[in-house]
């Protein structure tokens, strides 16, 4: 009898520890104290801008736009790439592409520009009931991007974010690497790293680096010598050095950020801007019910590991300004915040 009671108490204690750990990871105890030193305005969109890329030379922002709530509900939707001219007095989002593939459902995107070469956009797409793809677009003389290629590969298991490092070379961060069922449960709730970063050298796609815990963002330094990866389930930024000849990645450091990171953008000064979800359980509720708000957080991480106040929280909102913020991109003093679900772009000005 005593043995049975003892075993029961041990099981109850273990259950309590697991439950408490899940509540911590879900952000149940995180307090949201909204703040931002600048000002923001909302720009309506026909869908959500889950990812954003900045053309600093031209002052343009490119948005990956899709009605993702409709997609979650199982509706047959098609997305687009829009652009916003940040030089204009009155901002508007207009088409950036001359054409897109059938069943185009854009997710992460990357803008590649090299001297004496036409700009290219690399876009992850999730066609309905078809394998994931990377769609490649090239900028024409009219300023619009025309579709030039579709890339398929079995290693694009669950592609979430992409960064181009050449006219046909890129890295993709897979969100998950688990099979549906118990493996996915273990990956999610016990933080097991099963997702892969894959590299396409223009001919062959292969896994590089060690597995990651939910890849949600990827970006590269201006010189291509560093590749940054956000690991949602590990709550950290992964910084790798990159071999430009082979494409291999070598871990340099982890930067713990104590929140759920999403997409990454590298600013002109080399700082990494991260959109994040401080209360992930709110995000899950928001995906189910648009009336439930989900907090949006923006962090700036200095590229220099010795920098004072290396990690700064630039923006925090409970979700009333924009819910489920998934990307933050900077041009000068202008900060753009896109959302996973909301049909708006938050255009902010830093002080």
More confident site: 6 or 191: 191
Is residue 20 scored above 50 in pLDDT?
Answer: no
Which residues, other chains included, contact 344 with Cβ-Cβ below 8 Å and sequence gap of 6+?
A: 42, 43, 44, 45, 322
**Can you say how many angstroms the Cα of residue 17 is from the centroid of all Cα atoms in its chain?**
31
pLDDT at 8: 54
Q: What topology does CATH give the domain 31-349?
A: Neuraminidase (2.120.10)
| Reported confidence tier of residue 15, pLDDT bands at 50, 70, 90 | low
Counting Cα atoms < 13 Å in the Cβ hemisphere of 101 gives 22
Tokens linked to 141: 């003389």
Q: What is the pLDDT of residues 171-195, one digit of tens each?
A: 999 998 877 777 776 676 667 788 9
Please give the pLDDT value at position 209: 84
DSSP 8-class letter at 234: G
3-class DSSP state of 19 = helix
Do 314 and 334 contact (CB within 8 A), yes or no? no
Q: Residue 222 has what DSSP assignment?
A: T
Q: What is the mean pLDDT of the chain?
A: 91
pLDDT digits (tens, 9 = 90+) for 251-270: 999 999 999 999 999 999 99
C-alpha to C-alpha distance for 12 and 62, rounded to whole angstroms: 51
What's the half-sphere exposure (Cβ side, CA atoms, 13 Å) at 333? 7
Structure-block tokens of residue 241: 């050095």
Instruction: Annotate 262-275 with DSSP letters as a single string.
Output: EEEEE-TTSPEEEE
Confidence of residue 312 (pLDDT cuts 50, 70, 90): very high
Which position has the higher pLDDT, 178 or 350?
Answer: 350
For 285-295, how does the pLDDT look when each residue is reduced to its tens digit (9 = 90+)? 988 898 899 99
Going from N- to C-terminal start, the domains of the chain cover: 31-349
Mean pLDDT of 241-259: 96
Q: What is the pLDDT of residue 287?
A: 87
Compute the average pLDDT of residues 211-236: 96
Q: HSE (CB half, 13 Å, CA atoms) of 346?
A: 33
What does the block give as tokens for 122? 């690399």
C-alpha 244 chain-centroid distance: 23
Flag whether pLDDT at 25 surpasses 60: no
- The Cα 47–Cα 93 span in angstroms is 11
Alpha carbon separation from 3 to 6, 7, 11, 47 (Å, rounded): 5, 6, 12, 59
Range in 8-17, 207-216, 320-329 with the lowest mean pLDDT = 8-17
- Residue 123 has a pLDDT of 98
pLDDT in tens, 75-104: 999 999 999 999 998 999 999 999 999 999
Q: Residue 272's pLDDT band (boundaries 50, 70, 90)?
A: very high
pLDDT above 50: residue 127: yes
Adjacency order of strands within the sheet including 272-277 = 260-266, 272-277, 296-301, 311-317
For residue 18, the model assigns a pLDDT of 46
- Is the Cβ–Cβ distance between 72 and 287 less than 8 Å? yes
pLDDT value at residue 11: 55
CA 152 to chain centre: 21
Confidence (pLDDT) at 30: 60
CB 291 within 8 A of CB 261: no
Counting residues of the chain whose pLDDT is more than 70, the rounded percentage is 90
């Amino acid at each position: 009898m005593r043995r049975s009671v003892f075993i029961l108490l041990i099981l109850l204690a273990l259950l309590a520890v697991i439950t408490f750990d899940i509540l911590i990871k879900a952000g149940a105890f995180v307090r949201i104290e909204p703040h931002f030193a600048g000002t923001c305005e909302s720009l309506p969109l026909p869908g959500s801008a889950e990812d954003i890329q900045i053309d600093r030379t031209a002052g343009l922002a490119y948005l990956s736009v899709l009605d993702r709530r409709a997609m979650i509900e199982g509706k047959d939707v098609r997305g687009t790439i829009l652009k916003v001219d940040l030089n204009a007095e009155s901002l508007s989002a207009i088409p950036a592409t001359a054409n897109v593939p059938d069943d185009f459902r854009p997710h992460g995107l990357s803008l590649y520009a090299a001297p004496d070469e036409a700009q290219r956009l690399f876009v992850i797409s999730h066609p309905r009931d078809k394998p994931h793809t990377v769609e490649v677009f090239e900028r024409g003389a009219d300023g619009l991007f025309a579709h030039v290629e579709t890339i398929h590969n079995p290693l694009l298991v669950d592609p979430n974010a992409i960064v181009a490092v050449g006219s046909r070379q890129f890295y993709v961060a897979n969100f998950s690497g688990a099979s549906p069922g118990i493996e996915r449960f273990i990956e999610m709730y016990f933080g097991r790293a099963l997702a892969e970063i894959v590299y396409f050298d223009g001919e062959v796609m292969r896994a590089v680096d060690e597995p990651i815990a939910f890849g949600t963002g990827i970006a590269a330094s201006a010189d291509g010598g560093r590749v940054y990866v956000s690991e949602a389930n590990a709550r950290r930024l992964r910084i790798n050095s990159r071999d430009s000849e082979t494409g291999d990645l070598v871990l340099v450091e982890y930067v713990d950020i104590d929140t759920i990171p999403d997409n990454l953008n590298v600013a002109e000064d080399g700082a990494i801007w991260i959109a994040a979800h401080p209360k992930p359980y709110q995000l899950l509720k928001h995906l189910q019910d648009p009336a439930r708000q989900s907090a949006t957080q923006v962090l700036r991480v200095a590229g220099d590991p010795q920098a004072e106040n290396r990690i700064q929280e630039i923006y925090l909102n409970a979700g009333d300004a924009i819910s489920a913020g998934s990307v933050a991109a900077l041009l000068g003093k202008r900060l753009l915040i896109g959302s996973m679900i909301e049909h708006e772009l938050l255009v902010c000005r830093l002080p």
